[in-house]
Structure 1
Amino acid sequence: MARVRYGARTEEETAATRTAAARLPDVWSTGVTALWETDPDAVAAVLPPPLTPTGSPLVRVSVSEVALPGYPLGAGSVAVAAAHGAVDGWYPLVMPMTHERALTGGREVFGEPKKLGRVTVEREGPAVRAALERHGIAFVEVRGTVSGALPLPEPSSRTDFYFKFLPAVDGRGFDGDPVLVHCVRHERVRRLERITGDVVLRESAFDPVADLPVLRLREITAGERTSDQSGRVAERVDARALLPYVHQRYDDPLQAHDAPPERST
């Protein structure tokens, strides 16, 4: 019988897949990162326990084009500063990806809140524009002008926090206990530039990052980076405490009834 590719792989084939994955070359991305201070109450509101706010109510947006061999990828992230015990890191709220391959792997393995979307990084001379778009709305747009080179930072590490879970078959709660994942990224930078510009947040029912307003822009940079990542389960979490936040992960039609917060004038 001819080989049926949906059939079980042999032990040799499975081992070859693991070996190939362990020998991936450095993959460099070109992108834009923006960092700003926002409303501390808004940051506290989006953090599921056991995550807690840090001393700085920061939002970090990254918009990148990743040079995967034969498979270029647009990748984005909107994250808030968070802490888990003594570990400071970032809690991503949404991670738009342009291809399903990146989306499914990140969600299923690490619990990353990835969604299919449009990710744009454009540069014409010193002018730079980067945007995250879903459902026809560029809900985050970073724009500006390159104003000079920056010193290259030393290799660094950062921790992202994810919640990995499976919604229950009957629609009530989860199938199994959800877990909190620490994902550690080791990053190197080979080009870094300062951008003078601004961040525009647009109203979106499904990606309401406009609830995290730009109160003080810390920095915008453009650069080329490469990183690797490893994850571990830090702890099992209280399913009842996590459940009210699960809507962050999905395009829930009921979100259309969620009014934006009233802003003080």
Structure 2
Amino acid sequence: MFCVQATACAMRAILLKGEAHMAKLRFVQGSSGAPASASLNNTVRTVRATYETDAEIVRAMLPRPLVPAARPEVFLQFAHVAMHVTPETTVEIGALTLGLMCDYEGTPGGYVFHMAMEGESVVTSGRERFGEPKKIAETTFEKDGNHVRATCTRHGITYFEVDGTIGEDQGKPEPFEEYFYCYKGLPSISTPGEFDGDVFLTRLNWKRNYSLKRRFDGQIRFHESAYDPLVDVPIRRIVSLDYVEGATNTSGQLLRTVPSEFIAPFWVQRNDVPSNPGIDVPLIGSKAA
């Protein structure tokens, strides 16, 4: 008690003399010069694929107001990303993204139902800012000459892998922009299945400027995981499979509010709920066998 009183007296004496005593507090945002950019510039090495799945699966897991694309296709990308956060700081991560091809008011894109990547900060920022269904994962990306192998692992389960050989050059692609849709909301603090406040439909705007595009001859494999059941969205036919390198600029925007019941049944996709029994989806014809 004596020491505390002595310290308090000394502090009062300093203040009375007009001498400033500074204490650093990093739980409050300080001035850092220029404001952070709303977009992020990256360089990537990526295996990109589009595959055909069952139309019934797409219809069952696509939230309103998004509508299915003409063909029941899934966009899949595994990227080794160098994120240029500042001129002095670059963060390298592996990232797996899957989206159901869809349309919103005439703008085609993909509804992102799975995102897994390394690093707590990139996961939490994407979930909180854009509504991306990101999860923390362990990834590998190995490139030995023209051979590439990449994996994604969570809870000790390697549920995704791609393995193959970089093939013929397809020429330098023109710059393009592609869009992906997410939902941003705050689950209710008191009532499971509901939300506190508005739920927003968001759009990710990804500008691509690839310097290299080559055919990729390989295989994509999903393995059973109750945490990340990609096997439930099966690969029926590979539509395209490429290896690309180059620059990408990512940003996003709010599109509109949506009724919470539009997304409530699908919110489980962004959490680890191994006890979720899922739903039964009738398939037509031989696919049901």
SS at the partner of 1:160?
A: strand
Provide the alpha-carbon RMSD of the alignment: 2.1
Matches within 5 A, 1:139-150: 139-150=159-170
CA distance 1:23–1:54, change in 2 (3 Å): closer
CA distance 1:233–1:41, change in 2 (3 Å): same
1:5 lines up with 2:25 in the alignment: yes
CA drift of 1:62 comes to 1.0
1:168–1:175 Cα contact (<8 Å) kept: yes
The aligned residue for residue 5 of structure 2 is none
CA drift of 1:86 comes to 1.3
Moved more, 136-145 or 79-88: 136-145
1:38 lines up with 2:53 in the alignment: yes
The aligned residue for residue 126 of structure 2 is 106
The aligned residue for residue 230 of structure 1 is 251
1:95–1:113 Cα contact (<8 Å) kept: yes
CA drift of 1:90 comes to 0.7
1:252 lines up with 2:273 in the alignment: yes
CA distance 1:84–1:259, change in 2 (3 Å): closer
2:114–2:270 Cα contact (<8 Å) kept: yes
CA distance 1:260–1:3, change in 2 (3 Å): farther
CA distance in 1, matches of 2:178, 2:50: 15
CA distance in 1, matches of 2:39, 2:109: 28
The aligned residue for residue 77 of structure 2 is 62
CA distance in 1, matches of 2:225, 2:177: 32
CA distance in 1, matches of 2:274, 2:133: 17
CA distance 1:260–1:143, change in 2 (3 Å): farther
Structure with larger Rg: 2
CA distance in 2, matches of 1:198, 1:149: 19
CA distance 1:94–1:22, change in 2 (3 Å): closer
Q: Which amino acid aligns with 1:264?
A: A
1:159 lines up with 2:179 in the alignment: yes
1:79 lines up with 2:99 in the alignment: yes
CA distance in 1, matches of 2:113, 2:239: 20
The aligned residue for residue 264 of structure 1 is 288
Matches within 5 A, 1:189-228: 189-228=210-249
CA distance in 2, matches of 1:196, 1:23: 33
CA distance in 1, matches of 2:128, 2:207: 21
1:116 lines up with 2:140 in the alignment: no
Q: Which amino acid aligns with 1:30?
A: R
Q: Which amino acid aligns with 1:244?
A: P
CA drift of 1:138 comes to 2.2
After superposition, the C-alpha distances for 1:77-125 in whole angstroms (9 at most, x for unaligned) are 0111011121110111111110011101111100001000022221223
SS at the partner of 1:72?
A: strand
SS at the partner of 2:288?
A: coil
CA distance 1:156–1:23, change in 2 (3 Å): closer
User: Which of 107, 111, 114 does residue 94 from structure 1 map onto?
Assistant: 114
The aligned residue for residue 21 of structure 1 is 37
The aligned residue for residue 186 of structure 1 is 207
1:137–1:204 Cα contact (<8 Å) kept: yes
1:34–1:220 Cα contact (<8 Å) kept: yes
CA distance 1:258–1:189, change in 2 (3 Å): same
SS at the partner of 1:220?
A: strand
Of all paired residues, the percent bearing the same amino acid is 31
CA distance in 1, matches of 2:39, 2:59: 40
CA distance in 2, matches of 1:228, 1:96: 19
CA distance in 1, matches of 2:197, 2:223: 36
Q: Which amino acid aligns with 2:257?
A: R
CA distance in 1, matches of 2:280, 2:47: 27
Which runs of no fewer than 5 residues in structure 2 stay unpaired? 1-20, 84-88
After superposition, the C-alpha distances for 1:138-164 in whole angstroms (9 at most, x for unaligned) are 222221122211111111011110100
CA distance 1:127–1:229, change in 2 (3 Å): closer
2:76–2:96 Cα contact (<8 Å) kept: yes
CA drift of 1:130 comes to 1.9
TM-score (normalizing by structure 2): 0.83
